[in-house]
Amino acid sequence: MITKVAQEIDKVSSQLILKEAFYAHFFSGIIKNISEILPTLAVEARENRIVLHVNPSFWTDVLKEQIFQYGGIKHEILHIVLLHIIRYKEFSHHGIFNVAADLVVNQLIDRKELIKEAVFLELFPELN
């Protein structure tokens, strides 16, 4: 399964190069770690490197369609671009920060590229 996920990640990388070079530029320098260490996708800054963690079960079971894999990768790249992987340390409640950061990046991605479980502003009407 890991080999299949790695091949699909390579496909997404090729699509980014052809369609959205901005994202491809960031994605090319990221270390890809396919493992069960985290339940979904996540990026982290570790020892002056950026690592993308991909849970293979999440990739194949939740991000089943290529368009969702593409959107998921863009979502993680935007966390890098917007410095969320560094700024989260400034906040005492990392869970709230994570939701807020997801709300920000999801506004910058075409909704058809995101899974139905993605968070959007309308889920929080009290924020106006």
Q: Which pLDDT does position 60 carry in this prediction?
A: 97
Residues in the chain: 128
Of 66, 46, 80, 49, nearest to 5 by C-alpha is 66
Angle, vertex CA 117, rays to CA 5 and CA 16, nearest 5:
45
Q: Which amino acid is at 85?
A: I
Q: Which pLDDT does position 128 carry in this prediction?
A: 73
Q: pTM for this structure?
A: 0.94
What confidence tens digit (pLDDT) does each residue in 70-109 have? Answer: 999 999 999 999 999 999 889 999 999 999 999 999 999 9
**Contact of 106 with 120, CB cutoff 8 Å:** yes
**Contact of 58 with 117, CB cutoff 8 Å:** no
Mean pLDDT of 107-119: 97
The structure tokens listed for 81 are: 């671009």
Q: Which pLDDT does position 1 carry in this prediction?
A: 85
